[in-house]
Amino acid sequence: MSSPYQAFADVSCASIAIKNLSQNKGGKGQSCFIDYSDPKFARAMTAPKDLRVLWNVKPSGENVEDAFSFNLELGLPPQGERKDVDDFRSKATEVDTLILNFALRNKVDFFGSQKAKSMSSVDVVRGAYTPFIKEGKEAKEGAKYDDSIHGKVYGWKDYVDHIVYKDCTVKGVPNTKMVDNVVWKPRICDPSGRMSNFKEGDTRFYLFMGKDPVTNTDTYTERVPITDATGRPVQDERNNLQYRWVGPGDCMRGSKATVVFQMSKLYVAASFGPINAIREVYIKPAPPRERGVLGGAKIVQVVDPLQAARALQALMNSEEPEEEEEDSGSTTHNNNNNNKAKDDEIDSGVVQEEEVVSERVHSSSSSSSNNNQGAAGGDKKRKKAESGDESSHKKKKSSSSSSSSSSSSKAALSELPENDL
């Protein structure tokens, strides 16, 4: 990551100065701005690398249809799993203590004269405080959800296409409408490559492009080609690719993100806590999910149709006719090996379904043939002669079927654009 920011865990609480309360411009609540005497931390700081994105980026506030900021929530690994995360947790606790003591000293300004009478200690004030790290709730069977940190994404209000809702039961109330997802419009890049449609304070997103082959450091891009519904790049009238800026729609649940944030103020209303404005997000997309299927084989999402077509062509070219006969000992051994191979079989993200089916048919045919031979006993010679005739017929049929499948595969490939092949 190229940003020359300091880690939040390195911030000295002695350098943090919390200003007096002031009324927010919108009329709701008050704010205390935060200054840093150490200039290294005045602009922004980094959270631990590659934290898991718990939810898609969603609008914040009560009026979600007109929200000007959006929430990004990142999960923290359990205590003791990563030293950098443990250091982050420790610093967050220090910052929480600093803010709580400040609120206690200024309790009349924070809570009003009447409520301030009951605010006698830090523990009491803590009841109205939203901590830097949100503790994960208890799950079923004694499990626990991840602790998390929240940040605000700014500058993307005009690129919301529409909001998707779902009905949930919240605190015992059924059919409560909740935000499920946001569908985003592309933020088109200026043809010159300038960031003309970004303002100061807008959150910037970057997408992982792999490791640099020389330095082995992570590389990211800030813009990607626009694609249509079929996944193909969109071109203008001059056949030039159209680009968009990487944005919150790329920061999907399950991916990993490293954020650069600025803790610039405290928000004070019915409750109070720090506001973390996210300045930059470095995204590593989640790998395709795998799921088990019949026979212990695996299936994965195929991203590139061309890759699938090439894999199918390779499969067809490598097909060989079945052997005419197998003795019972080799049949049992091969069946065991075939079952083991099916459990682990993945070929560049494309499941070899035809090969699995072929193995099953072949295995079933061999077992049936062996059982008939054992039952026939004295008629072994006659059975062998008949089997030879049938095998010869099957061999011709299999060769014809293979040729037909190969021709069909090549026909499908010929329909793809030449430049893709």
At residue 127, the pLDDT reads 93
At residue 311, the pLDDT reads 62
Angle at 39 between CA 21 and CA 277, to 5 degrees: 55
At residue 349, the pLDDT reads 38
At residue 139, the pLDDT reads 78
Secondary structure (3-state) at 321: coil
Alpha carbons 256 and 220: distance in angstroms, whole number:
13
User: Cα dihedral angle (298, 300, 302, 306), rounded to 10 degrees?
Assistant: -30
Q: Beta strand 45-46 with 6-7: parallel, antiparallel or unpaired?
A: parallel
Alpha carbons 380 and 239: distance in angstroms, whole number:
71
Q: Beta strand 204-211 with 272-284: parallel, antiparallel or unpaired?
A: parallel
At residue 1, the pLDDT reads 42
* φ/ψ (deg, to 5) at 291: -140, 145
The enclosing H or E element of 413 equals helix 380-414
Whole-angstrom CA distances from 77 to 97, 348, 369 are: 22, 31, 56
The enclosing H or E element of 125 equals helix 122-126
Task: Report the chain (421 residues): mean pLDDT per 10 consecutive residues.
Answer: 74 89 81 83 84 94 84 95 96 96 94 91 94 88 87 95 88 84 90 73 94 92 89 86 92 95 90 93 82 52 57 59 42 42 40 40 43 47 50 47 43 38 29
Alpha carbons 381 and 12: distance in angstroms, whole number:
91
pTM for the full model?
A: 0.67
Alpha carbons 324 and 326: distance in angstroms, whole number:
7
Query: Where are the chain's structural domains?
Result: 6-156+188-284, 290-414
DSSP bridge partners of 274: 266
Please identify which residue in the block is written with the tokens 């919108």. Answer: 26
Query: In 10 A of CB 272, how many CB atoms?
Result: 22
Alpha carbons 158 and 150: distance in angstroms, whole number:
22
Please write the tens of the pLDDT for every residue from 268-280. 988 999 999 999 9
**What would the DSSP string read from start to end of 78-105?**
PTTS-HHHHHHHHHHHHHHHHHHHHHHH
Q: Which of 259, 255, 257, 263 is nearest to 280 (CA)?
A: 259
Alpha carbons 8 and 76: distance in angstroms, whole number:
15
DSSP 8-state assignment for residue 294 = G
Q: Which of 247, 260, 256 is nearest to 284 (CA)?
A: 256
Please write the tens of the pLDDT for every residue from 274-326. 999 999 999 999 876 555 555 555 555 544 556 666 666 666 665 444 444 44
Buried b (16+ CB within 10 A) or exposed e, 8-23: bbebeeeebebeebee
The widest CA-to-CA distance across the chain, in whole angstroms, is: 106
